[in-house]
Amino acid sequence: MEYDVKSEILGFEKMNRARLSVIDETFASLRDVDNENISFTLANPFRLREYSVDIPPYINALLEIDEGAKVEIYAIVVLQNPLDESRVNFLAPLVFNHDNHTLAQAVLRPQDYPQYGMAESIRSLIKES
C-alpha cells in the first residue's frame, strides 16, 4: 500500500511517497516510491514492549485523523549484525492513517516519555519480556 508522506522523516526530507509492506505481526518495511534505494525496517512497538503514546495534535490534523480512523504506529529499526543488536527508535514513531493513505513521523519529547529511548537494542527488549 502506498502512502503520502505528510511531514518529513528525519534524515529523509525528500521522501514524498512511500510503500508499506507488512511482513508479519511485528515487522514491516517502508520503501521510498521515487528512490528504491531508500528503505526502512519497521517494528510494531506494541509487540516489542509496553508502549503507549499520545499522537500529537499536529499529527492528528496533518493526517486528518478523526475518531474511528484506522491508525497504525511503527518504530524505525536500524539493523545490526548480530540481529539482536539492532536498535529501535521509540521516540520518533511513524504514524499511518490507513483511511486516507497518509503518514507522518511524530517526534516525541524525551522528557514526556522518559521510559523510551531513541536507540534501544532488540537484546534489551528480549530480556524485558
Residue 129 scores a pLDDT above 70:
no
Are 92 and 66 a contacting pair, CB within 8 Å? no
Give the residue numbers spanning the domain of 63.
2-128
How many Cβ atoms from other residues are within 10 Å of residue 122's Cβ?
A: 19
pLDDT score for 106? 96
pLDDT score for 11? 86
pLDDT score for 23? 95
Distance separating alpha carbons of residues 120 and 60, to the nearest angstrom: 26
What single string gives the DSSP state of each residue in the chain?
-EEEE-SPBTTBTT--EEEEEE-SSSEEEEEESS-TT-EEEEE-HHHHS----PPPHHHHHHTT--TT--EEEEEEEE--SSGGG-EEEEEEEEEEETTTTEEEE----TTT-TT--SSEEHHHHHHH-
Tally of domains within the chain:
1
For residue 15, give the CATH number of its domain. Answer: 2.30.290.10
* Per-residue pLDDT tens digits for 75-128: 999 998 888 889 999 999 999 999 999 999 999 999 999 999 999 898 888 755
